[in-house]
Amino acid sequence: MFSILAIGFALIYAIHGAPQPKADERMTLDVYYESLCPDSRNFLVTQLNPNWPTLSTFTDLRLVPFGKATFVPNAEGGWDFECQHGPEECTGNILHACGIKYSPSVTQALNFTTCLMDAPTAGQSCAESAGLDYTPIDACQNNVEGQNLVHDYGVETLNLDPTLTFVPWLIYNKVWNESNQWESLTNVTGVACNNAPANTPACLA
Protein backbone atom coordinates (compact mmCIF):
# COMPACT_ATOMS: atom_id res chain seq x y z
CA MET A 1 0.00 0.00 0.00
CA PHE A 2 2.70 2.47 1.06
CA SER A 3 4.84 1.75 -1.99
CA ILE A 4 1.89 2.22 -4.36
CA LEU A 5 1.21 5.63 -2.81
CA ALA A 6 4.89 6.51 -2.97
CA ILE A 7 5.07 5.57 -6.63
CA GLY A 8 1.94 7.62 -7.25
CA PHE A 9 3.41 10.71 -5.65
CA ALA A 10 6.70 10.19 -7.47
CA LEU A 11 4.81 10.01 -10.77
CA ILE A 12 2.81 13.17 -10.05
CA TYR A 13 6.04 14.95 -9.10
CA ALA A 14 7.77 13.72 -12.26
CA ILE A 15 4.89 14.89 -14.48
CA HIS A 16 4.32 18.29 -12.88
CA GLY A 17 7.83 19.11 -11.67
CA ALA A 18 8.57 21.02 -8.48
CA PRO A 19 5.62 22.86 -6.89
CA GLN A 20 4.93 26.18 -8.68
CA PRO A 21 3.61 29.39 -7.07
CA LYS A 22 -0.17 29.50 -7.10
CA ALA A 23 -1.38 30.92 -10.41
CA ASP A 24 -4.07 32.92 -8.62
CA GLU A 25 -1.70 34.81 -6.30
CA ARG A 26 -1.96 38.53 -6.93
CA MET A 27 -0.09 41.67 -5.96
CA THR A 28 -1.73 44.47 -4.02
CA LEU A 29 -1.14 48.15 -4.79
CA ASP A 30 -2.55 50.83 -2.49
CA VAL A 31 -2.48 54.38 -3.88
CA TYR A 32 -2.85 57.18 -1.30
CA TYR A 33 -3.47 60.39 -3.22
CA GLU A 34 -5.25 63.79 -3.41
CA SER A 35 -7.69 65.09 -6.00
CA LEU A 36 -5.83 68.31 -6.95
CA CYS A 37 -2.23 67.18 -6.42
CA PRO A 38 -0.09 67.53 -9.58
CA ASP A 39 2.07 64.51 -8.68
CA SER A 40 -1.05 62.40 -8.12
CA ARG A 41 -2.44 63.63 -11.42
CA ASN A 42 0.77 62.67 -13.24
CA PHE A 43 0.83 59.22 -11.66
CA LEU A 44 -2.77 58.37 -12.53
CA VAL A 45 -2.80 59.99 -15.98
CA THR A 46 0.66 58.98 -17.28
CA GLN A 47 1.43 55.77 -15.34
CA LEU A 48 -1.35 53.87 -13.61
CA ASN A 49 -4.28 54.31 -15.99
CA PRO A 50 -2.43 53.76 -19.30
CA ASN A 51 -0.69 50.66 -17.91
CA TRP A 52 -3.82 49.30 -16.24
CA PRO A 53 -4.69 46.80 -19.02
CA THR A 54 -1.42 44.99 -18.16
CA LEU A 55 -1.38 45.66 -14.40
CA SER A 56 -5.00 44.58 -13.94
CA THR A 57 -4.11 40.98 -14.83
CA PHE A 58 -2.20 40.60 -11.55
CA THR A 59 -2.96 43.65 -9.37
CA ASP A 60 -5.58 44.24 -6.69
CA LEU A 61 -5.71 48.04 -6.70
CA ARG A 62 -7.08 50.31 -3.97
CA LEU A 63 -7.46 54.05 -4.54
CA VAL A 64 -7.46 56.08 -1.29
CA PRO A 65 -8.25 59.79 -1.82
CA PHE A 66 -7.21 61.78 1.27
CA GLY A 67 -3.47 62.56 1.21
CA LYS A 68 -2.32 65.32 3.56
CA ALA A 69 -5.80 66.42 4.67
CA THR A 70 -7.15 66.78 8.21
CA PHE A 71 -10.69 66.53 9.60
CA VAL A 72 -12.92 67.61 12.48
CA PRO A 73 -16.47 66.45 13.23
CA ASN A 74 -19.26 68.78 12.08
CA ALA A 75 -22.77 69.53 13.36
CA GLU A 76 -24.47 67.33 10.72
CA GLY A 77 -22.87 64.19 12.10
CA GLY A 78 -20.27 64.18 9.31
CA TRP A 79 -16.81 65.70 8.90
CA ASP A 80 -15.24 68.98 7.78
CA PHE A 81 -11.89 68.70 6.03
CA GLU A 82 -8.90 70.90 5.38
CA CYS A 83 -6.86 69.96 2.34
CA GLN A 84 -3.37 70.69 1.02
CA HIS A 85 -4.67 72.35 -2.17
CA GLY A 86 -7.62 74.13 -0.62
CA PRO A 87 -11.37 73.49 -0.19
CA GLU A 88 -11.86 72.38 -3.82
CA GLU A 89 -9.52 69.51 -3.12
CA CYS A 90 -11.73 68.40 -0.21
CA THR A 91 -14.88 68.38 -2.37
CA GLY A 92 -12.81 66.61 -5.02
CA ASN A 93 -11.68 63.90 -2.59
CA ILE A 94 -15.34 63.33 -1.66
CA LEU A 95 -16.36 63.04 -5.32
CA HIS A 96 -13.52 60.56 -5.92
CA ALA A 97 -14.49 58.51 -2.85
CA CYS A 98 -18.15 58.38 -3.92
CA GLY A 99 -17.18 57.34 -7.45
CA ILE A 100 -14.95 54.57 -6.09
CA LYS A 101 -17.76 53.34 -3.85
CA TYR A 102 -20.34 53.27 -6.65
CA SER A 103 -18.06 51.71 -9.31
CA PRO A 104 -18.89 48.06 -9.99
CA SER A 105 -15.24 47.47 -10.98
CA VAL A 106 -11.91 49.00 -10.01
CA THR A 107 -11.26 49.51 -13.73
CA GLN A 108 -14.24 51.88 -13.87
CA ALA A 109 -13.15 53.55 -10.62
CA LEU A 110 -9.71 54.21 -12.09
CA ASN A 111 -11.22 55.46 -15.35
CA PHE A 112 -13.49 57.86 -13.41
CA THR A 113 -10.81 59.18 -11.05
CA THR A 114 -8.26 59.58 -13.87
CA CYS A 115 -10.81 61.57 -15.88
CA LEU A 116 -11.41 63.84 -12.85
CA MET A 117 -7.68 64.50 -12.56
CA ASP A 118 -7.85 66.49 -15.80
CA ALA A 119 -11.42 67.77 -15.27
CA PRO A 120 -11.93 68.08 -11.50
CA THR A 121 -15.55 69.27 -11.60
CA ALA A 122 -16.74 67.09 -14.51
CA GLY A 123 -18.33 64.43 -12.30
CA GLN A 124 -21.27 63.81 -14.59
CA SER A 125 -19.33 63.50 -17.86
CA CYS A 126 -16.51 61.49 -16.25
CA ALA A 127 -19.13 59.10 -14.86
CA GLU A 128 -20.72 58.72 -18.29
CA SER A 129 -17.35 58.09 -19.89
CA ALA A 130 -16.58 55.42 -17.27
CA GLY A 131 -20.00 53.79 -17.79
CA LEU A 132 -21.18 54.75 -14.29
CA ASP A 133 -24.60 55.88 -13.10
CA TYR A 134 -23.99 59.39 -11.71
CA THR A 135 -27.18 59.50 -9.58
CA PRO A 136 -25.85 57.59 -6.51
CA ILE A 137 -22.43 59.27 -6.83
CA ASP A 138 -24.01 62.72 -6.82
CA ALA A 139 -26.28 61.87 -3.87
CA CYS A 140 -23.26 60.52 -1.97
CA GLN A 141 -21.11 63.63 -2.54
CA ASN A 142 -23.92 65.90 -1.32
CA ASN A 143 -24.50 63.91 1.84
CA VAL A 144 -22.60 62.93 4.99
CA GLU A 145 -22.11 59.58 3.24
CA GLY A 146 -19.30 61.08 1.14
CA GLN A 147 -17.75 62.78 4.18
CA ASN A 148 -17.78 59.49 6.07
CA LEU A 149 -16.05 57.67 3.21
CA VAL A 150 -13.22 60.23 3.12
CA HIS A 151 -13.02 60.21 6.92
CA ASP A 152 -12.46 56.42 6.82
CA TYR A 153 -9.77 56.91 4.18
CA GLY A 154 -8.28 59.60 6.42
CA VAL A 155 -8.09 57.35 9.46
CA GLU A 156 -6.37 54.71 7.32
CA THR A 157 -3.96 57.26 5.82
CA LEU A 158 -3.05 58.80 9.19
CA ASN A 159 -2.28 55.33 10.57
CA LEU A 160 0.22 54.43 7.84
CA ASP A 161 3.58 53.14 9.06
CA PRO A 162 5.87 54.70 7.97
CA THR A 163 3.95 57.99 7.96
CA LEU A 164 2.94 59.38 4.55
CA THR A 165 5.35 62.19 3.60
CA PHE A 166 4.63 62.48 -0.14
CA VAL A 167 1.54 62.23 -2.34
CA PRO A 168 0.94 59.92 -4.16
CA TRP A 169 2.17 57.42 -1.54
CA LEU A 170 2.45 53.99 -3.15
CA ILE A 171 2.43 50.69 -1.27
CA TYR A 172 3.01 47.29 -2.89
CA ASN A 173 1.96 44.17 -1.00
CA LYS A 174 1.21 46.24 2.13
CA VAL A 175 4.87 47.25 2.77
CA TRP A 176 6.15 50.72 1.82
CA ASN A 177 9.55 50.63 0.12
CA GLU A 178 11.45 53.80 -0.73
CA SER A 179 12.88 52.70 -4.08
CA ASN A 180 9.49 51.32 -5.19
CA GLN A 181 7.90 54.62 -4.19
CA TRP A 182 10.08 56.85 -6.39
CA GLU A 183 10.65 54.46 -9.30
CA SER A 184 6.87 53.98 -9.69
CA LEU A 185 6.40 57.62 -10.64
CA THR A 186 8.10 56.90 -13.99
CA ASN A 187 8.02 53.08 -14.31
CA VAL A 188 4.99 51.59 -12.59
CA THR A 189 4.96 48.43 -14.69
CA GLY A 190 8.62 47.69 -13.95
CA VAL A 191 8.13 48.15 -10.21
CA ALA A 192 4.89 46.19 -10.22
CA CYS A 193 6.58 43.28 -11.99
CA ASN A 194 9.40 43.34 -9.41
CA ASN A 195 6.71 42.94 -6.73
CA ALA A 196 4.50 40.46 -8.59
CA PRO A 197 4.39 36.74 -7.80
CA ALA A 198 7.00 34.69 -9.67
CA ASN A 199 5.97 33.65 -13.18
CA THR A 200 3.26 36.29 -13.55
CA PRO A 201 2.51 35.97 -17.30
CA ALA A 202 2.24 39.73 -17.93
CA CYS A 203 5.76 40.17 -16.51
CA LEU A 204 7.51 37.42 -18.50
CA ALA A 205 7.44 39.17 -21.89
Contact yes or no for 120/92 (Cβ under 8 A):
yes
Binding to ligand NAG, residues 100-129 (CB under 6 A): 111, 114-115, 129
Our CB check for ligand NAG shows the closer of 49 and 59 to be 49
β-pairing verdict for 59-65 and 79-82: unpaired
Our CB check for ligand NAG shows the closer of 129 and 148 to be 129
Give, rounded to a whole angstrom, the gap between the first and last alpha carbons of the chain. 45
Interaction between residue 159 and ligand NAG (CB under 6 A): no
Our CB check for ligand NAG shows the closer of 16 and 174 to be 174
> What is the dihedral angle through the alpha carbons of 86, 91, 93, 99, rounded to the nearest 10 degrees?
-160
For residue 90, the surrounding DSSP H or E stretch is helix 87-101
Our CB check for ligand NAG shows the closer of 150 and 171 to be 171
What angle (nearest 5°) sits at the alpha carbon of residue 12, between those of residues 7 and 13? 95
**Contact residue for ligand NAG among 35, 40, 47, 49 (CB under 6 A):** 49
Q: Residues interacting with ligand NAG, by CB under 6 A? A: 49, 111, 114-115, 129-130, 177, 179-180, 187, 190, 194
